[in-house]
Structure 1
Amino acid sequence: MHSITKPLVFTALLAAPLALFAAPPVDAFKNELEIKNKTSFPLQVFQEQWRRVVLPDKSLQTQDYNNATITITTTTPDAAIKFITLSNAKGCKAQTCVLITGN
């Protein structure tokens, strides 16, 4: 019995790296969202327990927005968000983009 387990373990170790290069499931990237800050001020993005700051002309990718609400606010009281555009433009690295414009 001991002589049988060695070839099985060896085969499993050889096959393990192949799984690392396998394509991810189709639904793995379905919920990606990219937030692009097209304003002149930083934005705060909240999702569950974390908070990120998105600087002007920068972007942030979030995951799994179906299970966790995303909240976007300005960092200063005098800043204002004018338009929020939902898009899947060519320049978007994720499946869906939220373009935020302001003053």
Structure 2
Amino acid sequence: MQLTKRTMIYMVLLLAPLSVASAATKITLPAQLEISNKTSFPLYVFQNEWRKVVLPGERIQTKDYKESAVTVATSTPEAAIKFVTLSHAKGCKAQTCVLITGN
């Protein structure tokens, strides 16, 4: 009986670091967002200090949106965004897609 108890203690001591290491190295992928411009005018995409212009018909992928907000604005005051669709379409290369349509 003494030998079995000792064997169990040794097994626990040997396997404990493996479970701690596997829990500590859990990989979380960044949350990617793809913005698709389906309008007839350019869009501005802001994220922290990062700013991009998305031309009509183009797509852009943003950085991890869980760390900082993504803002989309029109390039001119006359332009208007009609619909914003959040989806995971066939052509989407990111985890989530935002389709922006307008005039």
| Pairwise TM-score range, normalised by the shorter structure | 0.7 to 0.9
Identify unmatched segments of 5+ residues in structure 1.
1-24
Residue 51 of structure 1 aligns with which residue? 51
1:47-100 CA-partner distances (Å, limit 9, x unpaired): 000110000000000121011011100001100000000000111010100000
Identity %: 64
Which letter does structure 2 place at the counterpart of 1:78?
E
Please state if 1:90 is matched with 2:90. yes
1 CA distance for matches of 2:28 and 2:57? 29
Residue 28 of structure 2 aligns with which residue? 27
Residue 4 of structure 2 aligns with which residue? none
Residue 60 of structure 2 aligns with which residue? 60
Which letter does structure 1 place at the counterpart of 2:93?
K
Equivalent residues, number: 78
Question: How far apart are 1:27 and its partner, in Å?
Answer: 2.5
Residue 37 of structure 1 aligns with which residue? 37
Question: How far apart are 1:45 and its partner, in Å?
Answer: 0.3
Residue 80 of structure 2 aligns with which residue? 80
SS in structure 1 of the partner of residue 68 of structure 2: coil
SS in structure 2 of the partner of residue 56 of structure 1: coil
Identify unmatched segments of 5+ residues in structure 2.
1-25
TM-score (ref. length: structure 1): 0.72
1 CA distance for matches of 2:94 and 2:36? 11
SS in structure 1 of the partner of residue 28 of structure 2: helix
Residue 102 of structure 1 aligns with which residue? 102
- Work out which of the two has the higher radius of gyration on C-alpha atoms and give 1 or 2: 2
